[in-house]
């Protein structure tokens, strides 16, 4: 295979590394700084990670914000499985995990955290579920990677990396908390030729 592309067992070809470990760290530090620029009162913040990839990112952002402010920042975890519009089509055996929110979301500035923003459908599902728990003052979206191709009018308030992709490409975020070294890779269906 040419150009450093590496064929994988799932039929995808690794085209390139978009972020390495240092890049992931720098992107999260930048996002934490941007959140604090907009919201100096970290006590009103609630970071909510969308399972699975958004949870470890939200946990890291929580630590970064806490290091910078000295205040504990509330953290939640959202499992959107049953809120997806493809739950019984795209997921033949949906596995539902717990949603954990610390107390009320009323009057909070909620920052939803996810790994990749693509069509916007995951974010839509997260918003619908979140509203089942109350009415926050504001909801914002932080993603490690925004890869375009929106199907819904949803945009990220904070993005570690914005990258143009094609429909045949996939962006995969790998994190140490999920059993792989920190990095973001661009994958593509194809022969690797």
Domain housing 48: 21-166
CATH code, 36? 3.40.50.2020
Q: Is residue 103 part of a domain?
A: yes
- Residue 192 located in a structural domain: no
Q: What is the reported pLDDT for 84?
A: 77
Q: Is residue 76 part of a domain?
A: yes
pLDDT at res. 94: 63
Give 10-residue mean pLDDT values along the chain (193 residues): 57 94 98 96 93 97 96 95 72 76 94 98 96 96 97 97 96 97 94 50
* Amino acid 1: pLDDT: 39
DSSP secondary structure string for all residues of 92-149: SS------B--S--TT-EEEEEEEEESSSHHHHHHHHHHHTT---SEEEEEEEEE---
pTM: 0.91
């Amino acid at each position: 295979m040419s150009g450093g592309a590496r064929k994988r067992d799932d039929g995808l070809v690794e085209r390139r590394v978009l972020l390495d470990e240092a890049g992931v760290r720098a992107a999260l530090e930048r996002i934490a700084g941007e959140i604090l620029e907009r919201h100096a009162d970290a006590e009103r913040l609630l970071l909510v990670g969308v399972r699975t990839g958004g949870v470890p990112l939200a946990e890291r952002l929580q630590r970064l914000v806490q290091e910078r402010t000295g205040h504990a920042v509330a953290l939640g975890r959202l499992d959107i499985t049953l809120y997806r519009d493809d739950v019984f089509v795209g997921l033949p055996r949906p596995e539902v995990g717990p949603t954990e929110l610390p107390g009320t979301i009323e009057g909070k500035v909620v920052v939803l955290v996810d790994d990749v923003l693509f069509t916007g459908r995951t974010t839509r599902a997260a918003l619908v579920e979140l509203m089942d728990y109350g009415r926050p003052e504001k909801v914002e979206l932080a993603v490690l990677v925004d890869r375009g191709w929106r199907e819904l009018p949803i945009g990220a308030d904070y993005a570690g990396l914005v990258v143009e992709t094609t429909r045949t490409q996939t962006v995969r975020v790998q994190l140490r908390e999920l059993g792989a070294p920190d990095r973001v890779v661009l994958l593509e269906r194809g022969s690797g030729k």
